[in-house]
Amino acid sequence: MKSIELIGKGKEMHGRAYIEVMPDELENAIKKLKENGFNHFVMLSCIDWLEEEKFELVYHLWSYEVKEHVMLSVRMNRNNASMPSMSHLFPQIETYEREIHEMYGIEFDGNNRLTPFLLENWHHAPPMRKDFDSEKFVGKLYESIPFIEEDENEGI
Amino acid sequence: MGLYIGDKMMKYEEWSKLAIKVSKASLWMLHFCTGCGAIEMPPVMTSRYDMERFGIAPMATPRQADVLLITGYLTVKTLRRVIQVYEQMQSPKYVIAFGSCTINGGMYWDSYNTIKHLEKYIPVDVYITGCMPRPEGIINAFIKLMELIDEGKARGWEKYQKYYDKYKENQRRVFNFEIEGENEEY
Ligand code: SF4
List the one residue out of A40, A23, A24, A25 whose CA is nearest residue A7: A25
Amino acid at A104: Y
> Whole-angstrom Cα distance, residue B35 to residue B141?
18
- By Cβ distance, the residue of B159, B166, B179 closest to A141 is B179
Residue B160 has pLDDT above 90, yes or no: yes
Residue A134 included in any domain: yes
Q: Cα dist. A75→A34, A81, B70 in Å?
A: 21, 10, 42
Domain harbouring B146, CATH code:
3.40.50.12280
Cβ–Cβ below 8 Å for B111 and A123: no
Give the residue with greater pLDDT, A83 vs B22: A83
Domain harbouring A105, CATH code:
3.30.460.80
Residue B40 lies in domain: 15-176
Residue A36 lies in domain: 3-141
Cβ–Cβ below 8 Å for A119 and B158: no
Q: Cα dist. A28→A32, A35, A44, B69 in Å?
A: 6, 10, 17, 52
> Whole-angstrom Cα distance, residue A81 to residue A107?
6
Say what the pTM is. Answer: 0.86
Span B155-180, mean pLDDT?
A: 92
Partner residues linked to A48 by β-bridges = A55
Residue B114 included in any domain: yes
List the one residue out of A45, A147, A141 whose CA is nearest residue B112: A141
pLDDT digits 0-9 by tens, B67-112: 999 999 999 999 999 999 999 999 889 999 999 999 999 999 999 9
Residue A152 included in any domain: no
Q: How confident is the model at residue B1 (pLDDT cuts 50, 70, 90)?
A: low
Span B34-60, mean pLDDT?
A: 90
Residue A151 included in any domain: no
Phi/psi region, residue B141 (left: phi>0; alpha: psi -120 to 50; beta: rest), is alpha
Phi/psi at B31 (nearest 5 deg)?
A: -100, 115
Residue B185 has pLDDT above 70, yes or no: no
Residue A156 included in any domain: no
Residue B24 has pLDDT above 90, yes or no: no
Cβ–Cβ below 8 Å for A147 and B120: yes
- A134 contacts chain B (CB < 8 A): yes
> Whole-angstrom Cα distance, residue A77 to residue A79?
6
pLDDT digits 0-9 by tens, A61-77: 999 999 999 999 999 99
Number of compact structural domains in chain A: 1
Residue A152 has pLDDT above 80, yes or no: no
Residue A33 has pLDDT above 60, yes or no: yes
List the one residue out of B80, B81, B76, B83 whose CA is nearest residue A138: B76
* DSSP 3-state percent helix, strand, coil across chain A (nearest 5): 25, 30, 45
- B175 contacts chain A (CB < 8 A): yes
Span A136-149, mean pLDDT?
A: 92
Angle at which helix B76-88 crosses helix B164-175, to 10 degrees, equals 150
| pLDDT at residue B85 in the model | 95
Q: Whose CA is nearest to atom 8 of ligand 1?
A: B36
Span B12-16, mean pLDDT?
A: 81
- By Cβ distance, the residue of A134, A145, A150 closest to B120 is A145
Q: How many Cα atoms are found within 13 Å in the side-chain-facing hemisphere of A69? A: 8
| % of chain B at pLDDT higher than 70 | 96
Residue B185 included in any domain: no
Of A25-34, A124-133, B8-17, B21-30, the range with the lowest mean pLDDT is B8-17
Give the residue with greater pLDDT, A84 vs B15: A84
> Whole-angstrom Cα distance, residue B27 to residue B89?
13
| % of chain A at pLDDT higher than 70 | 97
Give the mean pLDDT of chain A. 92
Q: Whose CA is nearest to atom 6 of ligand 1?
A: B101
What's the DSSP call for residue B179?
Answer: P
Number of compact structural domains in chain B: 1
- B185 contacts chain A (CB < 8 A): yes
Residue A153 has pLDDT above 70, yes or no: no
Residue B101 included in any domain: yes
Phi/psi at A13 (nearest 5 deg)?
A: -140, 115
Cβ–Cβ below 8 Å for A123 and B177: yes
Chain A residues whose CB is inside 8 A of the B162 CB are 156
Q: How confident is the model at residue B183 (pLDDT cuts 50, 70, 90)?
A: low
Q: How confident is the model at residue B37 (pLDDT cuts 50, 70, 90)?
A: confident
Pocket of ligand 1 (CB under 6 A): B 35-37, 72-73, 98-101, 106-107, 131-132
Cβ–Cβ below 8 Å for A147 and B175: no
Q: How confident is the model at residue A154 (pLDDT cuts 50, 70, 90)?
A: low
| CA-based nearest residue in chain B for residue A132 | B186
Residue A148 included in any domain: no
Rounded (10°) CA dihedral A100, A105, A106, A110: 80
| pLDDT at residue B16 in the model | 81
List the one residue out of B155, B91, B169, B89 whose CA is nearest residue B124: B155
Give the mean pLDDT of chain B. 89
What's the DSSP call for residue A129?
Answer: S
